[in-house]
Amino acid sequence: EAGVTQFPSHSVIEKGQTVTLRCDPISGHDNLYWYRRVMGKEIKFLLHFVKESKQDESGMPNNRFLAERTGGTYSTLKVQPAELEDSGVYFCASSQDLRQGIQETQYFGPGTRLLVL
Amino acid sequence: RKEVEQDPGPFNVPEGATVAFNCTYSNSASQSFFWYRQDCRKEPKLLMSVYSSGNEDGRFTAQLNRASQYISLLIRDSKLSDSATYLCVVTGTLYNQGGKLIFGQGTELSVKP
């Protein structure tokens, strides 16, 4: 079974440009999460989709970040315009259905390393 | 105060050593607890879940103390391949919070020959 995939693996852009990251979850996983690790800090939650709906976007840093999951399959995370502090590693994770009282394992993709110059 | 705090690293140990990692969390209502492992420039991978009764998987033993809001991971007979960053992770407090993971900063382990 294929794991979570992310594209691109690396991106170097200039401040003010736009970048779009893509995540393909494990087939059949309804839950898709975006996380980010900036240098020297812990991995932090950005948002959570259940199928095509945003369940929790409390971690999104500001309105320069836009996440979509049309059709409930792959997801995109767009940063527009990018700022220097957006540099970091962006991870996507997916899990199966959430069941009452059970925390399903989240499987992470390899991440996209974003550098904003 | 950070939601999840871990021992600062790095831990440098010889092969065969026993090493213990500690972690505390701030939200007493947290429901689920994990240790993840992250190799250099790779994604985090689940190492093991942590239960109040304690659980063991080969050389790895995890413990949870809810009263103290404390989580531990013990690695016995450490191998070179255990070198990685170990991440203490907790989840949200309610089912309908969607299971987002809250990470500690991680503790780096380096096992030397």
Per residue in A43-100, pLDDT (tens digit) is: 999 999 999 999 889 999 999 999 999 888 999 999 999 999 999 999 999 998 766 5
Residue A42 touches partner B, C-beta closer than 8 Å: yes
Q: What is the pLDDT of residues B56-93, one digit of tens each?
A: 999 999 999 999 999 999 999 999 999 999 999 998 76
Q: Do A110 and B43 touch (CB under 8 A)?
A: yes
**Helix, coil or strand: residue A25:** coil
User: A33 vs B101: CB contact, 8 Å cut-off?
Assistant: yes
CA nearest to A109 within chain B = B43
Contact at CB, B46 and A110, closer than 8 angstroms:
no
pLDDT confidence bin for A104, thresholds 50/70/90: confident
Share of chain A above pLDDT 70, in %: 94
B1-21 average pLDDT score = 92
Distance from CA of B67 to the nearest CA of A (A): 20
Closest Cβ–Cβ partner in A41, A45, A98 for B102: A45
Return the pLDDT at A99: 64
Q: What per-residue confidence (pLDDT) applies to A26?
A: 94
Distance in angstroms (rounded) separating the CA atoms of residues A46 and A82: 16
Query: What does the pLDDT read at residue B32?
Result: 87
Mean pLDDT, chain B, integer: 91
In this prediction, residue B8 has a pLDDT band, given cuts at 50, 70 and 90, of confident
Structure tokens at A39: 């240098």
Q: From start to end of chain B, where are the E strands?
A: 4-6, 11-14, 19-25, 33-38, 44-49, 55-57, 60-65, 70-75, 84-91, 101-103, 107-112
Band the pLDDT of A102: cuts 50, 70, 90.
low
- End-to-end CA separation in angstroms for chain A: 37
Question: What element of type H or E holds A46?
Answer: strand A44-50
Whether A39 has its CB under 8 Å from any CB of chain B: the answer is no
B41 to chain A: nearest residue by CA? A110
| Residue A101 scores a pLDDT above 60 | no
Chain A positions touching B91 (Cβ under 8 A) are 103
| pLDDT score, position A100 | 59
Please tell me the distance from the alpha carbon of residue A92 to that of residue A48, in angstroms, as a whole number.
Answer: 10
C-beta atoms of B99 and A95 within 8 A: yes
Min Cα distance A111 → chain B (Å) is 7
> In B, what residues contact A, Cβ < 8 A?
2, 4, 31-32, 42-46, 49, 87, 91, 95, 97-106
The 10s digit of each residue's pLDDT in B31-40 is: 889 999 999 9
User: Given pLDDT bands bounded at 50, 70 and 90, which one contains residue B43?
Assistant: very high
B18 pLDDT higher than 60: yes
